[in-house]
Every structure is written in structure tokens, then in C-alpha cells.
Chain A
Amino acid sequence: MKEISLQTKQRKDKMLNLLYLLPMVVVFVVFIIIPVVSVFNNSFYTIRLNGSKVWLGLNNYKKFIGDSKTLLAFKNTLIWVGAGTLAKILLGLLMALILYKEFHGKRLLTGVMLIPYATPAAVSCMIWRNMYHPSFGHIGQFLRDIGILSGEISFLGNMKTSLIAVMIVNVWAVAPFCALNILATLYSIPTYLYEAADIDGANAIERFFAITFPLILRDVRTLALLIAIWAFNSFDVIYMMTTGGPANSSSIFVNLIYQNAFEFNNRGYSAAISVVCFILLSILAVFYVRSKRKDISYE
């Protein structure tokens, strides 16, 4: 008899504990789940300015597949997410390995690393737009001074360079953040492993590939996925640097969403692009959640 009442009490507790989660669940349902459902719904309509809807079926998606901007944005998204993440992780790893050693001014340098991360995206975009200015910017001037460049280049106004130029800004802002994360992982490797390697007479490169690299791989992979997801979503940097131009040469998918919704007033079409992004992100999210679940131990 007593056992049964204990069980019911536990069950009641399990229900009551849900109250702690209720506010969070309400926020997610109202501001994420309902809007996501509504985006799916909107993607099958054309939506007029007065709010009236006309059923289109899959036409928005057909338009998306046939649109010449789609291929360009797809290519740009791949470069922006793929190459950008690789650059951020590699530079972050390099900086973390430098910071791992003890030297004078290490604490100060760690503080300096936070500056690009703490700088608002709007501010770094202003700075870099000025530095990229063809005639009055510091970067053009520097390249002229060391003799690489003879004339003026409009880094942001040129279809060939605009995406790379914006990527550099993003890498500058995010790589130090990666470095600090990788550094925390490096510190979690027990030092006796390195001592053992020293006894075996391993050099620095052998040590890196035999010990450091395999042990940080999992964490770095999780970090890379998170960084990739952030990059996929980073509308603001590109918008503030080039508004996706010239001629969409620096637009990724999320820029198309904004452009169609707020500039062309194509809300249905914009919703269809959102759905495509949602599906692509879900794939990344599955990998991320799975990557996080596996806990590692160094012992």
C-alpha cells in the first residue's frame, strides 16, 4: 500500500516539475513553433500587400529551383559556410596553440582576443567598409605601399571580390572566439600524456598529431558545426557590408529571404526560401545534437 502511494507521489512530482519548464515552452511555442508553421503555410501562397492570399501550390518552389539567383546563392552559401568555417577553425586552432604556451603578456592577449568577438557586428561592418574604401581605405593604401596593387580596387563593389571581402570580416570576428573554445579543450588534456610523449622522444609535430589532434577532434567538430550554423544564419554582416550585392554576388540564402520579403514584397516566395533553409538547417542541427550527445573522456 505504502509503495503504491510513493509511486503516485513520484508521478505527481514528475508532472509538477514540468511547471518549471512551462514558461520556456510557452515562449518557444509562441515565437518559434507557430511562426515556423506559418512559414510553411505561407510558402504555398502568393501574398498581396493587403494580406489576401492566393493558393499557388508548389509554384513558389518551382520558381526557386528555376531562378538564376538560386544557383548563385547556393554557391555563395557553400563558400561562405564551408570555406568560412574551415578558415575560422584553422586560425582558431593556430591561435589556441600559441596561447597554450606560457609567455609574458598572455593574460593581456587573452583579453585582446575578446575584442573582435565583443565588437558589435554593426561596428565592425562600419570599420571594414571604411578600410575597404577603394581610394581612402587603409587596406588599399597598404597594398599600394607594399607594391601589390597599382590602382584602386573596390573590394566590396566588385562581383569577384565582394563575397571574399565580407568573409574576411566574419573570420576576423569569429576566429578568436573559436580560439578561446579550442584553448579550453586543450587545457582539458592531461599533461602526463605529453610527458610520456617527451620520454618517447616525440617532436612537436608528432606530439600534435599523436595526442592533441585526436583528443580535441570531437570538441572541435562540435564547435565547427555550431560555427557553420551561425554562418548559415548570419544575415546581418552581409547585409550591412554590401546588402548582398553587387548584383547578388555576395548574397547567401538568408539574404534572399530578406530581399524578397522586405524589398520585393514577395512574401510567399520568401517563405518558400525560408522552408528550404529550415530543412538545410535541420540537417546541420541533427549532426550537431548527435555530436554533442557523445561525451568524451580522456582516461
Chain B
Amino acid sequence: MVVVALMVVLLLFPIVAMISVSLKEGTSVFTTPVKWIPERFVWYNYIEVFMKMDVLTGFKNSILVTAGSIVAILVIGIPAAYALSKLDFYGKIATYGIVLASQMFAPIIVVIPLYQMLNHWGWIDSYIGLIAMNTTFNLAFIVLMLTSHFDNVPKETMEAAIIDGCNKFRTLVKIVLPISSMGIVVAIIFIFTRTWNEFLFAFTFTSRSNMKTIIVKLYEILKNNPAVGIPWHLVMAGAVITTIPLIILFVSIRNYITGDATKGAIK
């Protein structure tokens, strides 16, 4: 029991620190000794940072980029995973290898050519640019995850559908997708998390304030203040606001993902 308690403390103390600082008064952030419980709970910090960070614009941008990426990845990834799992085609093993390997390539390695390319197309400071980037660098992971879910659909079910006159595409829509609906949900959650949290492209491929995602807006409160004068109480309040959608999502679906977490990546 002691071990379990220790584990909870180690996992959660940064979260507690975040909430604690987010409720402190601006002046008491800079006093020693550091206290865990604020003397006075200043809920106003949240309202102040809500304006300062322009949370509404940040949320709007993050939601649009995330939703766009979810749609794009599913539209591109579901047929690919279906082919990898159920269909016969030339170069299957090679394709599988390419998908696996492309999981490795970090965006940072190709960020410059991508910047030049997107700049040339006028995709800098645009939703389509960020959606394209998030789609590219999450696609392999999601395809592998969906492939392993589709593998669980019994071949007999599909054969029955084909005998009933369904073509391959209809079989995918009518049989495979409904059976794998849980896998699709898990995939959506993963895309959501990874896109919502994405920093490199959101940071380097946007310059106009009205196009920045919530993550970048949070980082900028810290970056735009001199090191000695960082308003920690506001930064932490902003951090809480940024995290809330994810915490709600994860806690509500925790039972589905614990086993599935990286089905595609590991097995």
C-alpha cells in the first residue's frame, strides 16, 4: 500500500503544484519558503489569463486543426489499414515495412524542406498546412493500430458478405468498420491527443497571432516575459486551461485505452 501511495505522489505532484501555483496571488508566487497551499485562493487568475492568452482563439485553432487531422487521417488511413489487413496486393511486405519505418522519422529532420514547400504553396499560417503536417506524422502510427484491429475481424464474416454480393468497399463500410468501432474510437483519441499537444509545427509554421494553437499561446506567455518576471500564477492557470479538455477525455475513456494503448506500435 505504501508503494502504491508513493507511486501516486510521484505521478501527481507536478499536477498538484500546477493547480497550487495557478491559484496563488501574483506577489506570493515570489515569496520563500514556497507553500503548497495558497494563503488565498485567487480564482481571478483564470479570468485574467483567459483574456491575456486569448484562449478562445487558441481553442478554436486547436479544435479546427485537430478535427481536420482526425478526418484526414481516418479517410486516408482506414482504406490503407483495410488493404494491409484483408486484401492481397503487390508489394505487401514492402509497404508494411515502409509504414513501420516512417514511424521513425521525426518531423524535426525534415522541418526546413517542409517549411519551404508549404511556404511556396502559401500554406504557412493556414489550417490546411498544420492539418497536412499532423496527418503525415501520425498516419503510420494510426494505420498500424487500425490494421491490428481489422485483423480481429473474422474472415468468415467478410466472406459471407461477399457471397451476399457486397463488393470490397461495401464490406469495409458495412462489416469491418462496425465490428472495429472501438478501435476507431481509440484511434480518434490518439489523434486528438497528439495533435492537440503538437508543438514544433504549430510553433514554427504560424506567425500570425490569430492562427496560433492553444499550446503555442501558452508557451508564449512564458517566452514573451523576461526570465525574472514570469507571471507564474498566470502561466499555471493557462496550463490548467490547456490541459482540461484532455484530462476530461482521458479519464472518461480510460477503460478502453489501457490495454490498447499501443497495440499497433508494439504488437
A113 at the interface (CB under 8 A from B): yes
By beta carbon, the residue of chain A nearest B133 is A31
A70 at the interface (CB under 8 A from B): no
Chain A residues with CB under 8 A of B95: 21
Hey, what's the 0/1 contact readout for A8-28 against B, CB within 8 Å counting as 1?
A: 001001110110110110011
A24-B143, A126-B222 given; A114·B250 CB < 8 A:
yes
Interface size on A, residues (CB 8 A): 91
A136-B34, A141-B34, A226-B266 given; A118·B239 CB < 8 A:
no
B60-111 interface (Cβ within 8 A of A): 75-77, 79-80, 82-84, 87-90, 95, 97-106, 108-111
Hey, what's the 0/1 contact readout for A88-127 against B, CB within 8 Å counting as 1?
A: 0000000100100001010101111111101111111011
Hey, what's the 0/1 contact readout for B28-58 against A, CB within 8 Å counting as 1?
A: 0111111010000000000000000000000
B236 at the interface (CB under 8 A from A): yes
- Cα separation A105 to B259 with both chains bound (whole Å): 18
A292 at the interface (CB under 8 A from B): yes
B113 at the interface (CB under 8 A from A): yes
A14-B90, A128-B14, A130-B21 given; A42·B29 CB < 8 A:
no
A42-B112, A136-B30 given; A112·B97 CB < 8 A:
no
B254 at the interface (CB under 8 A from A): yes
When the two chains form their complex, are residues A112 and B136 in contact, meaning their CB atoms are under 8 A apart?
A: no
By beta carbon, the residue of chain B nearest A219 is B266
- Cα separation A261 to B204 with both chains bound (whole Å): 11
A131 at the interface (CB under 8 A from B): yes
- Cα separation A15 to B88 with both chains bound (whole Å): 9
Chain A residues with CB under 8 A of B15: 115, 119, 127
- Cα separation A258 to B89 with both chains bound (whole Å): 40
A52-82 interface (Cβ within 8 A of B): none
A114-B250, A141-B32, A235-B108 given; A121·B7 CB < 8 A:
no
B135 at the interface (CB under 8 A from A): yes
When the two chains form their complex, are residues A131 and B17 in contact, meaning their CB atoms are under 8 A apart?
A: yes
Hey, what's the 0/1 contact readout for A262-299 against B, CB within 8 Å counting as 1?
A: 10000100110010011001101100110010000000
**A interface residues (Cβ-Cβ under 8 A, vs B):** 10, 13-15, 17-18, 20-21, 23-24, 27-28, 31-32, 34-36, 38-39, 42, 95, 98, 103, 105, 107, 109-116, 118-124, 126-131, 133, 135-138, 140-141, 144-145, 172, 176-177, 180-181, 183-184, 187, 219, 222-223, 226, 229, 232-233, 235-236, 240, 254, 257-258, 261-262, 267, 270-271, 274, 277-278, 281-282, 284-285, 288-289, 292
